[in-house]
Amino acid sequence: MSDATFQQQTGISGVHFTAARLTYLGFHAVPTIRNAHGPDLLVSNLDGSKLVSIQVKTTGWAARNRGRGEARKLDHYEWEIGWKNARLDHRRLFFALVDLKDFQELPDIFIVPSKVIFEYFDGGDPTTWTRARYHPEVAIIEPYKNNWDLLRKAIEE
């Protein structure tokens, strides 16, 4: 499998894993058509009266360590966001940052408001940053880890 095909399959896996998890948690979660402009998932309450949208970004293994030997510890996570998505800031738009962990264990999904991603890249210059990669430190991103209450709250508004 080529690198491009593998990346595409990884992305599709993240969208469907996120949709399955949301459905299990009592939401309607519908993937949009691949490569269509806009969000990857539309998510609503069960009667469909309230909606949020989700941009899914997936990686096979997001966790990054620092240090050597006994000093080695989890330092940060990494996801490719893309400049177009890095510039999004909408109250009802969330990012689902999926760490598949190569399916060696249950993947984690970080539910992050678009404003957080926008502020991370605000002032960034695509001409000097060749890629828009999100590298949050553990302490910053951990509150969003599998935090479905953020979506529940947004949908209930």
Tens place of pLDDT per residue across the chain (157 aa): 788 888 888 889 999 999 999 999 999 999 998 767 889 999 999 999 999 999 999 999 999 999 999 999 999 999 999 989 999 999 999 999 999 999 999 999 999 999 999 999 987 776 777 788 999 999 999 999 999 999 999 998 8
Task: Give the pTM.
Answer: 0.93
Q: Which domains does the chain have, with CATH numbers?
A: 3-156 (3.40.1350.10)
Q: Secondary structure of the chain in the HEC alphabet? A: CCHHHHHHHHHHHHHHHHHHHHHHCCCEEEECCCCCCCCCEEEECCCCCCEEEEEEEEECCCEEEECCHHHCEEEEECEECCHHHHCCCCCCEEEEEEECHHHCCCCEEEEEEHHHHHHHHCCCCCCCCCCCEECCEHHHHHHHECCCHHHHHHHHC
Please give the pLDDT value at position 118. 95
